[in-house]
Amino acid sequence: MIVNFKFPDKYVPEEREYIWYCAIKLYKGKYIDKEEAMIMMDIKDEKKFSNLYSIFEKRYKKIYGNGCSDGDFYDDE
């Protein structure tokens, strides 16, 4: 049996805030550059991008702290 799936060239989630969060995380992790993050967020003004970047950094650090990694969930056996 052969199953075919069509995937878009660029993954863009539906919710605006999630798109911004993903773009900022990818930019911060150096997976994409600033221009690509601005395109993903549909922002043309660098000042607006910088403001959103700082807002999201403060907000998600407050919610999640330093975040979690896979190693935090492994058993110590």
Chain segment 38-57, per-residue pLDDT in tens: 999 889 999 999 988 888 77
- The answer to whether residue 4 sits within a structural domain is no
- The answer to whether residue 50 sits within a structural domain is yes
- The answer to whether residue 7 sits within a structural domain is no
Number of domains composing the chain: 1
User: What does the block give as tokens for 20?
Assistant: 């911004």
* Statement: residue 28 has pLDDT above 90: no
Nearest to 12 by CA among 39, 49, 44, 48: 39
Contact 21, 56 (CB under 8 A): yes
Which residues constitute the domain of residue 20? 16-64
* Statement: residue 70 has pLDDT above 80: no
- The answer to whether residue 47 sits within a structural domain is yes
CA distances from 27 to 46, 57, 61, 62 (A): 14, 12, 16, 20
More confident residue, 51 or 64: 51
Q: What pLDDT score was predicted for residue 2?
A: 85
- The answer to whether residue 24 sits within a structural domain is yes
- The answer to whether residue 8 sits within a structural domain is no
* Statement: residue 68 has pLDDT above 60: no
- The answer to whether residue 3 sits within a structural domain is no
Instruction: State percent of the chain over pLDDT 70.
Output: 66
